[in-house]
Amino acid sequence: MDRRNFLSHGMLAAGGLSLAACKSASAQSPGPGEKKPPMKYRTLGRTGLVVSEVAFGTYGWQNTAVLVKALEAGVSLICTCADYQSGGAERAVGLAIKGRREREKVCLLSGIDCLRDPGESEMLERLEASLERLGTGWLDIYVPHQAETLANVTNPAIPKAFEKMKAKGKARWLGISTHSGQLEPMLERAIDLGYYDVLLCRYNFMEYKSQMKIFARAAEAGIGVIVFKVHAGTRESELEPLQQKGLDLDQARMRWALSNPNVTSTCVHFTNFSAIDNYLEAINTETSLRDADLLEQYRTAFDHSYCRNCSACEHYCPHGVKVADIQRFGMYFRCYGFEKEAMARYAALPAAGRAGFCRNCPAPCESGCPYGLAIRRHLLEAHAMLTA
């Protein structure tokens, strides 16, 4: 297969986009005095909510001024959680939307971590605290975050609590969020249950597998899809050639995700004011063969060192080390700049789940990794960072 056919059947096709829809080169950025490109919008499944293709993610964030500018630029979907920064994210969002005349034009998504299978009363009580921090009377989408197992997705308290929230006008639609190693069966189960209106999940060009079919099935059921972690680790800073292409690569990853017609919005981090223009340019530029080439360069460079969080290796660990979680926290620290948050998350793991056991271990986990990662070395590096 020649390069052109490889790209058309590989990176671009994986996102749901045909080669015919691509341009040979990216569009130019607006010149001095020219109008900024506009935000684009899509309808979020059966909710009927029309939301921006770029969603404002708030994990590790508390910069209200950046959110204010993003809202002015047309961002309408804000994804947050009561557990982000111990409520700090919701408070920062509340300051940004305070006094806005048209609350209806801002789509607020929030909830709580559901790892511990929270009960009905806890979800209802914590919703009240979230609404107070956000300074609003309702959430557009209530989402139990960070589902890790099928039991988290099927927790019967979730639909019961949501129906009470909805009856009181305090939440309009129900979603579920996951980036677990069991992601695909969990998404399938959420669709089967019928009461989830929105799916939020990890999705990128390094680990798509059968997600395309799942998203198509969700669309047929009227379920909206919001994706995150589209950057596959943001590791270009580790290689000088890729670092020089950082902005183009950043945009290419977003365009790849949005090229799937069953994806409504990408939830990303707005680390500074320039990110706003970067994302606007990304969604207003045609996907190109250059995009596919950049993504393929990245994939080739990190194919055997990027953890997909599939958890396949954990079955081989004699100590019960939380390999996927530790790799993810290490990525938060090293790639995203969320040092304190990553360290706090690591410290919250049970002692038996941390990487201290790896020092004198022969690493049987590595035989179970389908991608050939040097897991023991990665875990010890993460342990050193997260406990410094």
Q: What proportion of the chain, given as a percentage, has pLDDT over 90?
A: 66
- 289 pLDDT above the threshold of 80: yes
Q: Are residues 172 and 286 in the same domain?
A: yes
Q: What's the domain count of the chain?
A: 2
Q: Are residues 197 and 268 in the same domain?
A: yes
- Higher pLDDT among residues 217 and 323, named by residue: 217
Q: What is the mean pLDDT of residues 286-305?
A: 92
Q: Are residues 207 and 319 in the same domain?
A: no
Q: What is the mean pLDDT of residues 88-98?
A: 94
- 11 pLDDT above the threshold of 80: no
- Per-residue confidence at 310, pLDDT binned at 50, 70, 90? confident
261, two tokens: 């017609």
Task: State residue 36's pLDDT score.
Answer: 72
Task: State residue 44's pLDDT score.
Answer: 98
- 1 pLDDT above the threshold of 50: no
Report the alpha-carbon distance of residue 175 to residue 155 in Å, rounded: 13
Task: State residue 94's pLDDT score.
Answer: 96
Residue 84 resides in a domain: yes
Task: State residue 243's pLDDT score.
Answer: 86
Q: Are residues 185 and 316 in the same domain?
A: no
- Per-residue confidence at 241, pLDDT binned at 50, 70, 90? confident
Q: Are residues 213 and 241 in the same domain?
A: yes
Residue 17 resides in a domain: no
- 325 pLDDT above the threshold of 90: no
- Higher pLDDT among residues 142 and 346, named by residue: 142
Residue 305 resides in a domain: no
Report the alpha-carbon distance of residue 44 to residue 374 in Å, rounded: 40
Task: State residue 180's pLDDT score.
Answer: 86
pLDDT digits (tens, 9 = 90+) for 96-110: 998 777 788 899 999
Q: Are strands 107-110 and 224-228 parallel, antiparallel or unpaired?
A: unpaired
- Per-residue confidence at 15, pLDDT binned at 50, 70, 90? low
256, two tokens: 């790849």
* Per-chain mean pLDDT for the chain: 89
Q: Which of 296, 326, 345 is the last residue of a domain?
A: 296
Q: Are residues 46 and 182 in the same domain?
A: yes
- Higher pLDDT among residues 201 and 245, named by residue: 201
Q: Are residues 78 and 225 in the same domain?
A: yes
- Per-residue confidence at 26, pLDDT binned at 50, 70, 90? very low
- Per-residue confidence at 278, pLDDT binned at 50, 70, 90? very high
User: Residue 120: which domain range?
Assistant: 40-296
Q: Which of 296, 331, 347 is the last residue of a domain?
A: 296
**Closest by CA position to 125, among listed 164, 99, 152:** 164
Task: State residue 12's pLDDT score.
Answer: 58
Q: Are residues 210 and 77 in the same domain?
A: yes
Report the alpha-carbon distance of residue 337 to residue 234 in Å, rounded: 11
Residue 61 resides in a domain: yes
Task: State residue 344's pLDDT score.
Answer: 86
| DSSP conformational letter for 32 | T
Q: Are residues 286 and 317 in the same domain?
A: no
**Closest by CA position to 89, among listed 68, 73, 110:** 110
Task: State residue 6's pLDDT score.
Answer: 39
Q: Are residues 165 and 255 in the same domain?
A: yes
Residue 341 resides in a domain: yes
Q: Are residues 138 and 281 in the same domain?
A: yes
- Per-residue confidence at 331, pLDDT binned at 50, 70, 90? confident
DSSP assignment of 117-179 equals ---HHHHHHHHHHHHHHHT-S-EEEE--B-B-SHHHHT-THHHHHHHHHHHTTSEEEEEEEE-
Task: State residue 9's pLDDT score.
Answer: 45
Name which of 9-18, 84-93, 279-288, 378-387 the model is least confident about.
Answer: 9-18
Q: Based on DSSP, count helices (H) and strands (E) in the chain, helices before strands.
A: 16, 10
Q: What proportion of the chain, given as a percentage, has pLDDT over 70?
A: 91
Residue 3 resides in a domain: no
- Distant-in-sequence, close-in-space partners of 96: CB < 8 Å, separation ≥ 6: 64, 67, 68, 71
Q: What is the mean pLDDT of residues 116-122?
A: 94
Q: What's the distance, CA 273 to chain centroid?
A: 20
- Per-residue confidence at 254, pLDDT binned at 50, 70, 90? very high
- Per-residue confidence at 332, pLDDT binned at 50, 70, 90? confident
- The packing angle between helices 274-283 and 64-72, to 10°, is 40
Task: State residue 76's pLDDT score.
Answer: 96
Report the alpha-carbon distance of residue 94 to residue 310 in Å, rounded: 35
- 176 pLDDT above the threshold of 60: yes
Domain CATH code at residue 115: 3.20.20.100
Task: State residue 263's pLDDT score.
Answer: 97
Residue 367 resides in a domain: yes
Q: Which of 296, 321, 349 is the last residue of a domain?
A: 296
Q: Are residues 96 and 174 in the same domain?
A: yes
- Higher pLDDT among residues 21 and 313, named by residue: 313
Residue 303 resides in a domain: no
Range 285-303 burial, b when 16+ CB lie within 10 A, else e: bebbbbbbebbbbbbebbe
